[in-house]
Structure 1
Amino acid sequence: MKPDIHPDYHEVTIILADGTEYKTRSCYGKPGDTIKLDIDPHTHPAWTGVQRIMDTGGRVAKFNKKFGGLGNLGAKK
């Protein structure tokens, strides 16, 4: 194995969105650094299975106003 080609693997602290902390080893940053996660397995819909639509600046409402009737094109009256 060649010397000096591997990154430094050291201990860092991970802080989840809910404030939970744990230590792990990583190549990120320097020894003792902290990584704060805004999205983590306890809150992200990909892991929780709970979907929610965040309407930023009325974009969802604007989309529904523009395209809301398209879903009923094939429905019989």
Structure 2
Amino acid sequence: MKPDIHPEYHEINIVMTDGTTFKTRSCYGQPGDTLRLDIDPKSHPAWTGVQRQVSSGGQIAKFNKKFAGLGTRKAG
């Protein structure tokens, strides 16, 4: 292996959607940083079998929000 090409591997905190926390090792951020999950195995339909609405919207909703005012003219 080549020396000095691998990212730093350190301990971080994970906060699940229900507020529970645990520590793991990752290359994410700096040592001691906190990663807050929007979707995790406790809330994702693939593991729970329950469908729920995700508030962030999909690709089309993001597009419409970004370009909502495009093409409208101001009176004056």
- Tell whether the structures are fold-level matches, with TM greater than 0.5: yes
TM score, norm. by length of structure 1: 0.65
> Counterpart of 2:19 in 1: which secondary structure?
coil
TM score, norm. by length of structure 2: 0.66
Which consecutive residues of structure 1, in runs of 5 or more, have no partner in the other structure? 55-77
The superposition leaves residues 3-24 of structure 1 with CA deviations (integer Å, 9 ceiling, x where unpaired) of 1001100000000010000000
Segments of 4+ moved more than 3 angstroms = none
Which consecutive residues of structure 2, in runs of 5 or more, have no partner in the other structure? 55-76
> How much identity, in percent, do the aligned residues show?
72
User: Which residue of structure 1 aligns with residue 28 of structure 2?
Assistant: 28
User: Which residue of structure 2 aligns with residue 73 of structure 1?
Assistant: none
User: Which residue of structure 2 aligns with residue 3 of structure 1?
Assistant: 3
CA distance in 1, matches of 2:24, 2:5: 22
**How far off its partner does 1:52 sit?**
3.6
RMSD: 1.8
Name whichever structure is richer in helix by fraction.
1
User: Which residue of structure 2 aligns with residue 37 of structure 1?
Assistant: 37
